Structure 1
């Protein structure tokens, strides 16, 4: 069974944590991933070579790997360079996820995807924010497209994810698997994504984002209650 078939209509869990979180230890990320797989996740999405290596030893489902890198001269940050992709592949990722938006980047997108295919032998998941960037990514050779960056780029930041309209447009206009990622906050929303034609659904914060979820609860309690807040 190939990777694309393995993830069909399934739940992919993104197991990540902020760098300053106690949860960011590789063994804890690996435990999150193993728990997700034991409960039915068809794949996991993992950031950094160290975490990918730990997760690879814990699970046997496909790993979508990436490496977030903040570069001073470029806004793209998800696996922006071939060297980042190579490290992710060596660590054990089965699919390489990268920023495929139209923003400026250190290496041309088409060259990056070609090298990942030719030199690493890995398929590419293009994280996009619009139909236009998705079309360009497919022309450049992307194997999968994810709605990951909708709501997180300059041109989409005014609208919170998920965009059901964008998902529907991608399904209609592209002939590669479309993964719905970003803003999925309930099983009902995940089911809606599949019903709209998503190949699979990626959920992160709502399942594994303890840090962000706690911050949101605390902030909401501080700003929306009449009583003095006592943590």
Structure 2
């Protein structure tokens, strides 16, 4: 699938984030669970998958013929960056066949002191044909990452940085501003819990929508229901 075909595949569709961290019930050291989630997503009409770790990406790509947005989550001392932070991780994602590599595009610096824009430029130089997504929280970050060569900007980090703390709902107005002002394609991700919210994201100008917890995290889904029921008292 070339770049134009991939863009057309994603346009107006749903990407399902299939991830399970070590503390979550669906995590297994040997993997095997997320490919089943990806199969279910494909059956339901998803146009792509977002996945974490080389193991899961390899297994998912063997299970479904859908483009994969690949990330590697890892904590590093001295920085709040944790989504695809170093070139070693990018190399690993390229090697396992991630169609799009997502990196954290927020304003914090990486362990080597480089900015998100610096990192994206380095990736673009090393892998000129690789599609890159920047997970951002603010317009300034999106503009910097797009100028550095990011093909997509995702609203993934909005509400999860010091500057955007407290935003815990889908920010439709922010998506609209991004779609209007940022030259990169906008991927709406984060705080999307209902189909209606997903539709509103596309109506605001998002190229595609990524939904994870509302589909692939049973504990989170259950907690949302139980909180609503308990709220009746």
Give the TM-score of the pair, scaled to structure 1: 0.91
In structure 1, how many angstroms separate the alpha carbons of the residues matched to 2:5 and 2:119?
23
Q: Which residue of the partner structure matches residue 5 of structure 2?
A: 2
**Residue 79 (structure 1) aligned with residue 84 (structure 2):** yes
1:201-225 C-alpha deviation (Å, 9 max, x unpaired)? 110010111122234445566x646
Q: Is the 8 A contact 2:105 2:117 kept in 1?
A: no
Is the 8 Å Cα contact of residues 150 and 162 (structure 1) preserved in structure 2? no
1:164 counterpart residue number: 172
Q: Using the alignment, how far apart are the partners of 1:174 and 1:201 within structure 2?
A: 17
1:200 shift after superposition? 0.5
Q: Give the SS at the match of 2:222.
A: helix
Aligned 1:32-43 pairs, distance under 5 A: 32-43=37-48
Pick from 191, 204, 217 the counterpart of residue 183 of structure 1.
191
For 1:103, the equivalent position in structure 2 comes to: 108
Q: What SS does structure 1 have at the residue aligned with 2:140?
A: helix
Q: Distance in 2 between matches of 1:207 and 1:95?
A: 21
Give the deviation of 1:104 after TM superposition.
1.9
Paired residues for 1:29-178 under 5 Å: 29-106=34-111, 107-120=114-127, 121-178=129-186
The whole-number CA distance in structure 2 between the counterparts of 1:101 and 1:54 is 29
Tell whether the 8 Å contact from 1:116 to 1:123 is kept in structure 2 after alignment. Answer: no
CA, structure 1 residues 24+97, in 2 after alignment: closer, same or farther (shift >3 Å)? Answer: same
Provide the secondary structure at the position in 2 that maps to 1:14.
Answer: strand
- Please, what is the CA RMSD of the aligned residues? 1.7
Write out per-residue CA displacement over residues 3-38 of structure 1, whole angstroms, 9 at most, x where no aligned residue: 212100000000112312341232110110111012
- Tell me the TM-score normalized by structure 2: 0.90
Deviations 1:80-112 (A, max 9, x none): 111111112212211000110111222443342
Distance in 1 (CA, whole Å) between partners of 2:20 and 2:68 is 16
Moved more, 212-221 or 96-105: 212-221
Which residue in the other structure is 2:211 paired with?
A: 203
Map Cα deviations across residues 108-147 of structure 1 (whole Å, 9 max, x no partner).
Answer: 4334223333434411101000111111111111110111
CA contact (8 A) 2:117 2:144 kept: no
Contact 2:53 2:70 in 1 (8 A): yes
Task: Tell me what 2:220 maps to.
Answer: 212
Cα distance change of structure 1 residues 176 and 225 upon mapping to structure 2, 3 Å threshold:
closer
Structure 1 runs not aligned, ≥5 long? 227-231
Is residue 150–residue 161 contact of structure 1 (8 Å, CA) maintained in 2? Answer: no
2:16 to 13, 16, 32: 13
Q: How many residues align?
A: 225
